[in-house]
Amino acid sequence: MMELMIVIGIIGLVLAASWGNIQSILRQQRLTGATNQLVTHLRLARERAVAEGNNYIVTFRAGPNDYQIWDDEGNDALLGAADSRTLFPMPDLTTLQNPTFFGANRVIFLPDGTCSASGSVEVTNGEHVKRVNVLASTGKVTVTTP
């Protein structure tokens, strides 16, 4: 019984010593998940623009910490009655920052697969940053670490 108590005590000490590392790993995983979610939504918006033959607009809003995707049925960049819009809040403990698409906070995916402007938006957890890039000539979405 004494040996079992000693083993449990050692396991407890090891867990206590590694708690900071575990928290750091969890924060990094949360950042990766939030970035992957954004990349998936951007790629889906591009695919839908091509498949449906109309613009899809992604607007990044740093203040409320969310982004919205809307189907621009009239291809006029104006939100109309036929246009649908979906709001995606950023996951807890992650934030959007520095959306730069030639001075705008949005990117428009066009029916030919290209987009209105090259640019990027950053996702951060306070410690680390991941940059999501969009290339205008192809609509390609990539992730880099600045």
pLDDT digits (tens, 9 = 90+) for 57-84: 999 998 899 999 999 988 888 778 788 8
Average pLDDT value for the chain: 90
pLDDT digits (tens, 9 = 90+) for 90-110: 998 899 999 998 878 999 999
| Length of the chain measured in residues | 146
Q: Which residues contact 145 (CB under 8 A, 6 or more apart)?
A: 128, 129, 130, 131
Domain range for 80 is 2-144
CATH of the domain at 118: 3.55.40.10
The tally of domains found in the chain comes to 1
- Give the pLDDT of residue 20: 67
- Give the pLDDT of residue 142: 97
- The pTM for the full model equals 0.83
- Chain-centroid distance of CA 18 in Å reads 29
